[in-house]
Structure 1
Amino acid sequence: MLPFLLQIHLEEATHESAQLTHKLVKGMENLSQLREEDIEVGATPREVVFQEDKVKLYRFKSPVDQKKTVKTPILMVYALVNRPFMVDLQEDRSLVANLLKLGLDIYLIDWGYPGRGDRWLTLDDYINGYLNNCVDFIRTSHQLDKVNLLGICQGGTFSLCYSSLYPDKVNNLVVMVAPVDFHQPETLLNMRGGCTLGAEAIDVDLMVDALGNIPGDFLNLEFLMLKPQQLGIQEYLDVPDLMDSPEKLLNFLRMEKWIFDSPDQAGETYRQFMKDFYQGNKLIKNQVKIGDRQVNLLNLTMPILNLYAEKDHLVPPASSLALAKYIDTQDYTAKGFPVGHIGMYVSGKVQRDLPPVIADWLRNRD
């Protein structure tokens, strides 16, 4: 006869095994019923209103009878890394949908997928070209001199540069989890980018000269290796616990689809961004040149709302909050949220609190 304690352990193990088997069987049933269109990201209806090369400008459709409470439209500028639809991941986790409900008129730039012929695109092409042309389209369409900008992550850095070069076209500037001071030696991404060792950390010239465009898969691996245990192992060990729930399984698959849908980076743009921003930290030194124009953060005199994630391992709060030291606006607001980088888009609590912060701030300055 087995000892009593050993018998309890066996009973627990048998019970847990039966539960796991049930979840796996139910999970396989759920997976077999899913279709590709069920995992699509970007839930809110939208239409292409302007296109240049591979860049598309979307305008989101407001709910029926939704009145605009902010007259000036807002242009969302996302990073070149990953697709912009993290801001509209699914119906119940959508910054776009929540802002639309609050009466904002929203445009979004989709940078597209650079191909081999795009390797020579520069920051000049993206900022003085595509971004400026999208802004001008909105200005002309609405017969306005200025628009509102919402720059997210690297798109926030782009928006800072753009607003410095074209302050007469920007009414209000909102930046979210945007890197500003890139010399953050205690942050792995910044160290990997060369903020401490420069080219000894990563030889950007060699990479671009050898590869042309920088593969999206390389960048994905770089981000995953910042937290290899959590993002590369534990995340997938937890999958059996959610497979028996169709809703949780879909949430997981949508996130995975977004994470691994990574466009390549135009080689020359990657070269300048890594060397000037990460290695040279030239943004806060007012040494960045976009084409033949100099970026000077002191030109940022418009109202600025700086949103950051307090637990961000990609863009540390110190990097974002440094902005206050280098601008000349008399209307500056900073607000943090107790989540990580991705949590700014998908956290239920943040999606409850963040959209009203943005909408109220813009409404008071419209």
Structure 2
Amino acid sequence: MRDSIPSNWRKSPSIGGPTARKAIWKKNKATLWYYPSAQKTYKEPLFLIYSLVNQPFILDLYPGASMIESFVQNGYDVYLLDFGIPGYEDSHITIDHYIVDYIQKGVQRTLRHAKADEITLIGYCLGGVFATLYAAIATESIKNLILVVTPIDFSELPSFNRWLTALRDENISFDHLFDAYGVLPAPLIEAGIRSITVPVYYTQYLALLQNSNNKEYVERWKRFNDWTKGHIPFVGQALKQFVNDYVRDNKLVNGEIKIKGKNVLLKNIDMNLLVVAAKNDELVPPSLSEPIMNLVSSNDKQFQLVDGGHTTMTAKKGALPNYLQNWLPERSTLIGEEV
């Protein structure tokens, strides 16, 4: 067991969250944050990868509504790779760079810092795609791979099949836009996300009005609203790769992706696998996530469909979310347990 968190560790800044953390590695704009458990119970640290579209503080949103808080309260040391906010000087960065230079190096740093032999890798949305790519080429030992609302198979896009057909027929292309901007500004990213989900929305404001006398609710609402509107710029070269190779050509499912010369084959993924999708997810419907189940070599693999939408993946009051309450402890090694 571990003593309580040192009092001289600062709390996260406003763009962070309430859980105490410490930066242990930096590269360019990226930071690897370490969140220690006061009562460490399990050997394998959790390595979290979030999307490039929003800031990752949604994972540590508010006391009592924080995924990271629930992890550390349940005995897990947590490491979060925050890619940061890119500038125009980063316009050369590709998906290959994110996988090898950031994620793989971050995992290596995590294993050294945690004095661990294995990790549990958790990817959210596009971060789940990156986690999948890395897991397929990793030389480091990954015990568990958890993919949350992660798009894998783009053979069909239920709400945007006309766009997909136009892309595949080469009737439209966004390459000139990606090249011209270099790094796409945040308002453009937000407009694109809104066009896919809900262009005009007001229900959350009605909810705020109904709960306006509840101070805790209002504070939590403000924080969630900051995250919702806090889209960040997206590197054009990486987005061009994603749109052309992953969405248009579906190369990940077809086994045609290479990361810095290494073949990315989903059959190379043989660790314990949990895939989580949300029933009402308009951005990443379950049909984009589930096909990976038939493409990996994992003997222990599970697909879970949960209620809610794309942004409902939070924990409450320090408890692990339902889809992890049994799955994760059963596949984690207790400290002192014989392997």
The alignment's TM-score, normalised by the length of structure 1, stands at 0.81
Q: Secondary structure at the match of 1:294?
A: strand
Gaps of 5+ in 1: 1-36
Cα drift, residue 62 of structure 1? 2.1
Match of 1:88 among 60, 72, 79: 60
After alignment, is 240-249 or 82-91 more displaced? 240-249
- The answer to whether residue 23 in structure 2 is matched with residue 48 in structure 1 is yes
Counterpart of 2:178?
Answer: 208
Counterpart of 2:307?
Answer: 338
Structure 2 CA distance for partners of 1:228 and 1:331, relative to 1, 3 Å = closer
Q: Say whether the 8 Å CA contact 1:301–1:327 is kept in structure 2.
A: yes
- The answer to whether residue 101 in structure 2 is matched with residue 129 in structure 1 is yes
Cα drift, residue 145 of structure 1? 3.7
Over aligned residue pairs, what C-alpha RMSD do you find? 2.5
Distance between the aligned counterparts of 1:100 and 1:178, measured in 2?
Answer: 24
Aligned identity (percent) is: 27
AA aligned opposite 1:50: W
Cα drift, residue 201 of structure 1? 7.1
Cα drift, residue 168 of structure 1? 4.1
Cα drift, residue 90 of structure 1? 0.5
After alignment, is 144-153 or 156-165 more displaced? 144-153
Cα drift, residue 179 of structure 1? 0.8
Alignment of 1:75-114 (within 5 A): 75-114=47-86
Distance between the aligned counterparts of 2:172 and 2:216, measured in 1?
Answer: 41
Alignment of 1:65-84 (within 5 A): 66=39, 68-84=40-56
Gaps of 5+ in 2: 1-11
- The answer to whether residue 37 in structure 2 is matched with residue 62 in structure 1 is yes
Counterpart of 1:116?
Answer: 88
Distance between the aligned counterparts of 2:172 and 2:259, measured in 1?
Answer: 23
Structure 2 CA distance for partners of 1:177 and 1:157, relative to 1, 3 Å = same
Distance between the aligned counterparts of 2:22 and 2:311, measured in 1?
Answer: 26
From the two aligned structures, give the one with the greater helix fraction: 1
AA aligned opposite 1:195: L
Q: Say whether the 8 Å CA contact 2:15–2:57 is kept in structure 1.
A: no
Q: Say whether the 8 Å CA contact 2:69–2:318 is kept in structure 1.
A: no
AA aligned opposite 2:181: L
Structure 2 CA distance for partners of 1:140 and 1:348, relative to 1, 3 Å = closer
Of structures 1 and 2, the larger Rg is shown by: 1
Distance between the aligned counterparts of 1:327 and 1:38, measured in 2?
Answer: 39
The count of residues paired between Structure 1 and Structure 2 equals 323
Cα drift, residue 291 of structure 1? 2.0
Q: Say whether the 8 Å CA contact 2:124–2:149 is kept in structure 1.
A: yes
Cα drift, residue 239 of structure 1? 3.9
Counterpart of 2:9?
Answer: none
Distance between the aligned counterparts of 2:181 and 2:280, measured in 1?
Answer: 34
Match of 1:218 among 188, 208, 215: 188
Match of 2:285 among 293, 305, 316: 316
Match of 2:272 among 274, 278, 303: 303
Counterpart of 1:34?
Answer: none
Q: Say whether the 8 Å CA contact 1:208–1:268 is kept in structure 2.
A: yes
Q: Which 4+ runs in 1 deviate beyond 6 A?
A: 346-350
Q: Say whether the 8 Å CA contact 1:44–1:61 is kept in structure 2.
A: no
Cα drift, residue 348 of structure 1? 7.9
Q: Secondary structure at the match of 1:48?
A: strand
Match of 1:158 among 130, 149, 153: 130
